[in-house]
Amino acid sequence: MPIDHAAAQALFVEYDKAADVLDESGPIWHGDIENCDVCSRPMEPEIYMIDGPAQASAQPMWGNMCVICAYKLSLKIEWGIAQLYRRQGSHWYLIAGGPPPRDDWDL
């Protein structure tokens, strides 16, 4: 059964709700993302982009994915696992899965 785009997007909306207000001074994706690296869906209309494992294997290649491909391959958003970006204008802002605050680092 195909995955519905709205249902896949709804999963990532939950991360967005948990994020603080979008910090436009925070990390952004550098470079253009025209298509999903897995299915080639155009990314221009997408709200979210997931940077994570783009293959179901022990040592997967990573890629920039639409919500449908991420729903299949990178459900968990967390530092070192996958990062979630939200489009704001022409930029992709990191909203989940980034590094922990420096206060949490064990030095």
- pLDDT of amino acid 83: 93
**CA–CA distance, 46 with 66 (Å, rounded to integer):** 7
pLDDT tens sequence across 16-64: 776 655 666 678 898 889 999 999 999 999 999 999 988 777 777 889 9
- Per the domain annotation, does 107 fall within a domain? no
SS3 105: coil
**Number of domains making up the chain:** 1
- The arrangement of strands across the sheet holding 83-88 comes to 62-65, 48-53, 83-88, 91-96
**Which uninterrupted H or E stretch holds 53?**
strand 48-53
Full-model pTM: 0.82
pLDDT tens sequence across 56-97: 777 778 899 999 999 888 778 888 889 999 998 889 999 888
Tallying the residues shown for the chain, one arrives at: 107
Domain hosting 75: range is 5-21+33-97
**Which uninterrupted H or E stretch holds 48?**
strand 48-53
- Per the domain annotation, does 73 fall within a domain? yes
- Per the domain annotation, does 17 fall within a domain? yes
